[in-house]
Amino acid sequence: MSAGDGGWVGRTVVEMRDALRRGEVTAVQLAEQAIAHRERVDGRVHAFLARTDELAREQARRADERIAREGDAAPALCGIPVALKDVLCLQGVETTASSKILRGFLPPYTGTAVQRLLDQGAVVVGKTNCDEFAMGSSNENSAFSPVGNPWDVERVPGGSSGGSAASVAAGVVPYALGTDTGGSIRQPASLCGVVGFKPTYGRVSRYGLIAFASSLDQIGPFTQTVEDTALVYGAVAGHDPLDSTSSPTPVEDPLEQLRSGVEGMRLGVPREYFVEGIEPGVRAAVERAIEVLRSLGASVEEVSLPSTDAGLSTYYIIAPAECSSNLARFDGVRFGLREEAASVLQTYLRTRDAGFGPEVKRRIMLGTYALSSGYYDAYYRKAQKVRTVIAEEFDRVFEQVDALVCPTSPTVAFTQGARSDPLAMYLCDVLTIPVNLAGLPGISVPCGLADGLPVGLQVIGPRFQDARVLRVAHAYEQAAGTAAARSPMVAEAAA
C-alpha cells in the first residue's frame, strides 16, 4: 500500500504509530490523507466545523522532526491526526460549542486535555460538530448543521459528540476527543460503530472545556480499537491543578492489564437495562456479546439496579440546573454574540434569545425553574437525593461483581427528524445516564450489526477502575473481531 493514495485512511492509532517509527509513512503524509479524506466525505457527513489544515501541516512537520530525533522514545500520539469536539478550547482556533452565541470565539488559552495531546505531538485537523453546548442525542441541535452517520447519512450519528464519532467512523481520523455528560460519548460511539470511553468523573481535567453540567461532564476518546482508547486515555488522564475537581488518585497504566483477559472475572447483567424499548436486534447482539465473554471464562450473573428508571428524571433536573447556572456567562459582555439594546438588561435578554437554540433554551428554563424559590426542594434537592440512591445501588452491585455489561443505546441509529419530541429524544440516553450520575467509567465497544447498523456493548466499572473496564472491552473485542467492522466511507479512500 503506497502512502500517497489514501492507504492510511481507516488505520488505527497503533498502526500509524508503528508505521511512523518504522519510517513507512510520515506525519505530513498522514495529515494530508486525513485532510483529503475529510474533504472527500464531509460534504455528506458534516462532522467538521473549523478546519485547521495549516496548523495540522505545521504540527505534522514538527512531529516528523521529533520522530526523527527521538525514534521509539517519541510519544505514542506524535504525528497522528486527531479531531476535537467543538466544546474543547484550542487557543486561537474558532470554538463555538456549535452555538450561534459563540460564533467567532477564539479561545485565549488551550484546555488541559487538548494540551496533553499537543505535548505528545498530536496533529489537529479540525473541530467537530456537536449538539449545541453538548445538549442532545442526535446532533440535530447543532446551530450549524446536522451530522450524517457514515453508515447511512440519512441517519443520525447520535450525540452530542456526533461529529467526533462520525469523524472516526468515516476514517478521517483514527481518534477524536468528545465529552460525555449523560452518554454523549458512548451513545454516538454505539450508533457509529466505534469505541467510545467515558472515564471516571475527575480522571480527565475539564479545564478549557466549555461547561454544560459540571458535576457530570467528562472528556474521553473515540477510537476504532480498545487499545487505541487505552493509549489516548493514558495521554489525557491525570490530576490537573487547574481543575479542582480532577482527582489526585494516581492513574493506573491502562495498557498494563489490557491483555489480562476476563477469565475468573464476575460480570453482572443489570436486568433493568433489558426492559421495554430495547430493539430486538440490539438485544440479540448484546446477548451474543455477553455469551462471548462467558466463553472467555467470565462468570455472568443477573443483578438488579432497581432505581435505573429514575435516572432519566434525576438527570433532567440536575443537568439543566447546572447548565442554567453555567450558561449564565453568555451575556454578550465578555465574548460571543451581542444584540445591542437600550439597557444592559435588554441586551442580555435579546442576546440570549438570539444566540441560543431551542434545546438550550428549554434546558435553561427547566433548570432555572428547578432551582427557583419554592421549587428547589421538590425538584433539585429531591433529584440530588435520588442521585445518591442510584450511586449507592451501583456501589452495592460492585460488591458482588467486577463489572457490568449491557447495551449502550436501546436502538441503532435512527433517521434524521424521527424524534422531534424532546421527551422521545431524552430516552436515547436512558442506559448511559446512570453512569454519569454515579461518576463511573463506562465504555461502548462495537458488538456487531442489527439491520446493517452498528450496535454497542456497554461495559461499566467501579469508580477509578477505568483499566478494568478497558480490559473487559478489549477481551471481548479481540475474541469477537468486531474491530474489523468499518463504515462504507472508509473504503472510499481506496477507490
Partner 1 sequence: MTLSRDDVAHVAMLARLGLSDEEVERFGAQLDAILHAISRLNEVDTSAVAETAQVGGLVNVWREDEPRPSIGTERALANAPDSDEGQFRVGAIQESE
Cβ neighbours, 10 Å, residue 490: 20
Residues 200-259 that bind partner 1 (CB under 8 A): 201-202, 215, 241, 244-245, 247
The answer for residues whose C-beta is within 8 angstroms of residue 425's C-beta and 6 or more apart is 136, 137, 138, 419
Q: What is the grid cell recorded at 133?
A: 453546548
Q: Residue 423 CB, nearest distance to partner 1 (Å)?
A: 6
Q: Residue 243 CB, nearest distance to partner 1 (Å)?
A: 10
Is 94 among the residues that bind partner 1 (CB under 8 A)?
no
How many C-alpha atoms does 185 have within 13 Å on its Cβ side? Answer: 32
Question: CA quadruple 244, 248, 254, 260: dihedral positive or negative?
Answer: negative
Which one of 295, 304, 372, 415 is in contact with partner 1 (CB under 8 A)?
372
Is 386 among the residues that bind partner 1 (CB under 8 A)?
yes
Catalytically annotated residues = 85, 160, 184
**H/E stretch holding 186:** helix 186-192
Q: What is the grid cell recorded at 258?
A: 489490557
Residues 296-335 that bind partner 1 (CB under 8 A): 307, 309-310, 312-314, 316-317, 324, 328, 331-335
Residue 8 or 379: the one with the smaller Cβ distance to partner 1 is 379
Which one of 31, 88, 290, 383 is in contact with partner 1 (CB under 8 A)?
383
Q: What is the grid cell recorded at 335?
A: 465574548
CA distance 489 to 168: 10
**Rg of the chain in Å (alpha carbons):** 21
The count of residues interacting with partner 1 (CB under 8 A) is 70
| Interface mask toward partner 1 for 410-439; x: CB under 8 A | ------------xx--x----------xxx
CA distance 111 to 113: 6
Q: Residue 215 CB, nearest distance to partner 1 (Å)?
A: 5
| Interface mask toward partner 1 for 341-370; x: CB under 8 A | xxxxxxxxxx-xx--x----xx-xxx-xx-
How many C-alpha atoms does 491 have within 13 Å on its Cβ side? Answer: 6
Stretch that binds partner 1, among 20-28, 63-71, 73-81, 379-387 (CB under 8 A): 379-387
3-state secondary structure 204-257: ECCCCECCCCCCCCEEEEEECCHHHHHHHHHHHECCCCCCCCCCCCCCCCCCCC
CA distance 485 to 254: 24
Q: Residue 463 CB, nearest distance to partner 1 (Å)?
A: 7
How many residues can be counted in the chain? 495
Q: Residue 135 CB, nearest distance to partner 1 (Å)?
A: 13
| Interface mask toward partner 1 for 48-87; x: CB under 8 A | ----------------------------------------
Is 108 among the residues that bind partner 1 (CB under 8 A)?
yes
Is the distance from CB of 250 to CB of 239 less than 8 angstroms? no
CA distance 402 to 399: 8
Is 473 among the residues that bind partner 1 (CB under 8 A)?
no
Residues found near partner 1 in the complex (CB under 8 A) = 104-106, 108-109, 201-202, 215, 241, 244-245, 247, 307, 309-310, 312-314, 316-317, 324, 328, 331-338, 340-350, 352-353, 356, 361-362, 364-366, 368-369, 372, 379, 381-389, 391, 422-423, 426, 437-439, 463
